[in-house]
Amino acid sequence: MLGMLKDKALDEHMDTFGYVIMPFLAPDEIELFKQLYKKHHPVPPPAFYKSYFSPDYAYKMEVEGKIKEFFNAKLANQFQNSFAMGGMFVVKPPMQKGHFPAHQDWSFVDETKSWSINMWCPLEDVNDENGNIQVLLGSHKFIETIRGYGTPDVYADLREIVDDYMVPLPMKAGEALFFFHGLVHGSTPNTTNNTRVSLGLSLLPENTPLLYHYIDPESEKKQLERFISNEDFYINYVHHRNKRPTDLESLGMVDFSFEQLSPDALIKKCEVLNPGKSLSPKRHLPDIGFGEDLIMVKDDETIIPSPKPTFLQKIKELCGIGQ
């Protein structure tokens, strides 16, 4: 995976941990994007929102075009032979209505042969209070996965362990976070009174086939089908979401087994880059919480741990880890 970034130290950090953060936008550029957002969104959206959700093609292309205009030259200074697509606003309103739990993004390339990266750039300082990104360090290498419509979440039964090891990434306005689409990531609830607005973009190597993966939910066999895709397909996905594509070339069914890690195997992988990480106040857990070791304080939506043993501690005791 090495060779994506021109800077060797950043490239090695990206390969090992799955992400890097770099300064990207100047104050006047940040203000330009804030004004562009206000132009199209005088009233904040009521829930988590991406501009790609909109059916308005002209609006989506205006946002993507402006993001590429300001980012392409800077990206070329940092990345080797890459191209950008999927420029969008990514918006999280206040009071946890836009909470997004830990997950992996879809597979846009054959990740056994290539790479694809998500870029996330907040237009204001972000921290645990207003929805900063959290990542599971090195998780892009934990287990081979293919993600798309209808594919199973291989971490679905491991969420409490994942949440215990998530690492928050507070950032300054205009900094850009780059992370593999396969890196497990999420964000903290936005408990402020302000809407958090950020920019999103995807990077792929030049001349790499763009893919789409689909499993028919009505099929008993649950076979994974792979398609050659294109940028327009994703820009217009809102018009054909959840449907098998009829205008893309099918590459046929993929012989792929969705393996899952055992709890002890996941903990051991997490401990490599996060040795002895203790359970901090679980502000990053999904709104509904997991397990009985959480208490929801209704007045300020804060989640705090009780003195009861955590799920992670119980698993460690059973596996003999950290004793």
Q: Quick one: which H or E segment has residue 117?
A: strand 117-122
CA 215 – CA 221 distance, rounded (Å)? 9
3-state secondary structure of 160: helix
Domain-wise residue ranges, the chain: 8-211, 263-319
Which amino acid makes up residue 37?
Y
User: In b/e form, how buried is each residue of 116-155, taking b as 16+ CB within 10 angstroms?
Assistant: bbbbbbbbbebebebbbbbbbbbbbebbebbbbbbbeebb
Q: 2.60.120.10, 2.60.120.620, 3.40.50.1370, 1.10.3720.10: which CATH number matches 8-211?
A: 2.60.120.620
CA 288 – CA 291 distance, rounded (Å)? 10
Number of alpha carbons in the 13 Å side-chain half-sphere of residue 234? 23
Q: Per-residue pLDDT tens for 53-82?
A: 999 999 999 999 999 999 999 999 999 999
Q: Per-residue pLDDT tens for 264-314?
A: 999 999 999 988 664 443 333 333 222 222 222 222 333 333 334 444 444
pLDDT band at residue 220 using 50, 70 and 90 as cut-offs:
confident
pTM: 0.84
